Each structure stands twice: as C-alpha cells, then as structure tokens.
Structure 1
C-alpha cells in the first residue's frame, strides 16, 4: 500500500501539487501549517507600488509576495528588474505574464540552494550601489538579504504584502494530526517556519510520544536551510529536493 503523502504548504500552493500527485495512486492529504492572510492595512504597500519605477530592483521573497503585489497593480513596468528566490516564484511571475525576455529576472543558479545568500551571489551588486532596492515580503522574515544589500552600499526599502499565521488547533485539526501520527507517511514541508509550527502542534496533540512519532516520518524539503532545521529538530530521514514543484514531483514520484 502506498505511503500517505502530507502536503503542509499554504492551501493555495498545495492544490496544484496535490492534483498532480493524485493523478497517481498515492493518498494525498493537504494539511496547511501556515495561513496566508491579507494585511489589515495596505496603505504602505499601495504607496510603494505607485512608485515602482524609482527602484533599480524589486526582490520578492516568495510566491505569496508576488501574488499579493500583482493583485494591486495593472502591469509590471518592463524597465524595472526583478529578483526571486526560486522556481516557485518564477512560476508565480509567469502566471502574471512576467517572464525572461521582456523582463529581467534574477534568481539563484543552484536550485537546491534557493535562499537569500544564493540570490545575493547571483546579483550584480556593483551595479546596484548607490541605488534603491525594494524587498516585498511578509510582515516578518529574515533580514539577511536587506542587511547584505545595505552592507554593499545599496539603499533598501522593505514593504509587507501579506501576513502568515499558524492554524488554530481546533477539534478537526487535532483529530487529523492524531490520525496522521499513527501512519508511516511522507511529509512535504517547504519552510522552516512551517516546520516549527508542526512541532508545536504535535506537542499539543500528543505530549508523551508525538515528537518521537513525527521525527520518524520522512520529510521532503526544497531548501538546504529547511533540511538543516529538520535535522536539528531530530528528524531522521530528510530528502532534499530541487526548487519548485518539479523538484518535489521528481523526488516524490520516485518514492514507493
């Protein structure tokens, strides 16, 4: 019997991947560990989007940042270069008609290391010196990209486009987690924050043995930093896939 596969990405990002996997014979469970929510006040975001052409580069930290931005603009100015972390964000841009050729898009060259550090390695920092870069992100996040750009003599402005929240542990979620902890399954986790949320929820659901049970599951993660977090949390089997759905699909479809 195929192992159940648990996809923990936010709901909107889980559906397409789940559909592709359901075309096979795997039992697929969607269990979002982070909810993507709108900002209570979008005035700061709207103000900065009104002056996009004043930036030498606009960097998006995630597909969510891209979708939230393009929901508020008619089109992207071709003169403004973009930077993204990985293939998932490139696909998000493509959904909005922004692709290489008409637009200049920079992303990490190593698809297994798609993070702020590898994006910095791909950027021409000397060209950006003395100019202004915009980073579009969630309400909170790592400061590595902004700090490194500032250290290189680049002016940085950051703006929030969405917020993340852990799901409420209601009776339905409690029962789903209880059931999943009893099964030997594969889990797709695509952020370190979601991994921390998972551990917190498991401890609440089964304080005695829940942590040991979840640590025995096989994790599929798209970034090295998430793999390092998983190993530090005691997970025994962590598979590092390539960036984007293609890398996940390849790894998952090769698992019996």
Structure 2
C-alpha cells in the first residue's frame, strides 16, 4: 500500500463496480463503508399514495432499489422524476420508462424543472430515506401541490474505531472519495479532533455542487476539491483519473 491510496467510502453493495474498475487498472485504494442502508417496509397507505400520485420523485439510488424490492414497477403509473442522473438511470432500468432529471442535481434543480412549475392541486410523492432537505417539499407546497414522503429505507452509521482508522489512513490515504454529504460529515464525526486538519489536507472527490458547498463549510480548501459529474461509476472513474493525472 502506498501513500497515494484512495479511500473509498461508498456503502456496501454500491461500490462493487467501482472497486472492480480500480482493481483492473491496478490503482491502490482502501475501502471502508461508513453507513449502511436498511429497507423500510412500505405501508398500505403509502402504496396507495404511490399508485395515486400525479408525479413521483426519487431522491437517491437507495430510494429506488429499496422500493423495487417491495413493489412491481407496473403499479407506478405517475410520471417519474429523479434528483440525479445515477438515480434516474437505475429508476429507468427498473421501470422501463422515461425518467426526467435536472441538470442541477439538487432540490433546487428539481424545483426549476418545467414539469414542476404548474403543480397546483397535484399529489406529488417524494421517495427518500429517513431525513433530508425540506426545500423541495416546501417549494412544491408553495406552488399548491400536496406533497407526501414515502420512506423506503433508512441509513445507519456503522460502528467503527475512529482512532484506529485515523492511525491507518494518515499513513496511506491522499484522496477521499465520498458520494453523499452525510458520509462526508460522518468522517469528521468519526475521526478524533486531531484528525480533522488531516482530513482538510486531503484531496476530495465529491459528486454534487451541494457537497462542494458543504465541504467548504467544513474547512476543506477549494483547491483540494475535485467534482465528479455525478455519482455513477464512469463519472467517478473519470474524476479519479483527473486526480491521478493532475494532483499526484
């Protein structure tokens, strides 16, 4: 293991393709998931909301895959929307239907979509985990929509020894790849306080403008941030390639 290793933090089950690509290219990395996802059973009333919705919005890949394990895609008749490209791809693969998503892969982007402008009187269901930003719901409600959440999964922090991980990582890791703001913040809460400046000195591969902004609030210099186009494996590999060429 070299001092130029990548730290990959994607949840278990979501990193297989990325790790296989890294192995194929002979890249050195450490893999440590920090958060696990667990399916939440859909209630009968929630299934009814999904079936009767005028529009369905999925906020993450886990929101899609957790619902996929519980429902037949044919029961979802409403137009499908996704917050990001990767989520849209997974949703389209499951349903075989068109999925619209914004260029700005945040709540702000969803609210700016043409299909979200005239929603007065519509029933809109947002499929997500146990928490998240309220901006999308509030914005749609202000436009007259009736908005409900369906929680198809929840996230659980994995119990880890932050001091032991810091001792290992500081000798080896030069770049950290994270695909959610929650995971990024989890790193700062997991490591001891004396490890926070070390975290800020690493390069970071992030996947959205919102994560970029959150990284700055954590004290990570803008010069240390590499922004991938999105969270799919090809975009992440492109960002890793950019880091390898430009920062090592």
The normalised TM-score by structure 2 is: 0.89
Change (3 A) 1:2 1:175: closer
**Kept after mapping to 1: 8 A contact 2:179/2:231:** no
**Kept after mapping to 2: 8 A contact 1:191/1:226:** yes
Change (3 A) 1:127 1:201: same
Q: 2:242 matched to which residue of 1? A: 254
1:233 pairs with 2:231: no
Q: 2:135 matched to which residue of 1? A: 144
- 2:82 is aligned, of 61, 81, 84, to 84
**Per-residue CA distance 1:191-235 (angstroms, 9 max, x = gap):** 1111111001112xxx4x311111111000010111111122111
**Kept after mapping to 2: 8 A contact 1:11/1:30:** no
Change (3 A) 1:78 1:211: closer
1:161 & 1:182 partners in 2: Cα distance? 39
Task: Please say which of residues 124-133 and 237-246 is displaced more in the overlay.
Answer: 124-133
The normalised TM-score by structure 1 is: 0.86
RMSD: 2.0
Change (3 A) 1:178 1:76: farther
Q: 1:49 matched to which residue of 2? A: 47
**Kept after mapping to 1: 8 A contact 2:50/2:76:** no
- 2:187 is aligned, of 186, 198, 209, to 198
**Kept after mapping to 2: 8 A contact 1:231/1:238:** no
2:206 & 2:169 partners in 1: Cα distance? 19
- 1:104 is aligned, of 93, 98, 102, to 98
The answer for unaligned runs of 5 or more in structure 1 is: none
TM alignment of 1:64-83, pairs within 5 A: 64-77=62-75, 79-83=77-81
- 1:214 is aligned, of 176, 179, 199, to 199
Aligned length: 240
**Per-residue CA distance 1:65-111 (angstroms, 9 max, x = gap):** 00011111122346411111112102322442x34xxx2311012xx
Q: 1:62 matched to which residue of 2? A: 60
1:243 pairs with 2:230: yes
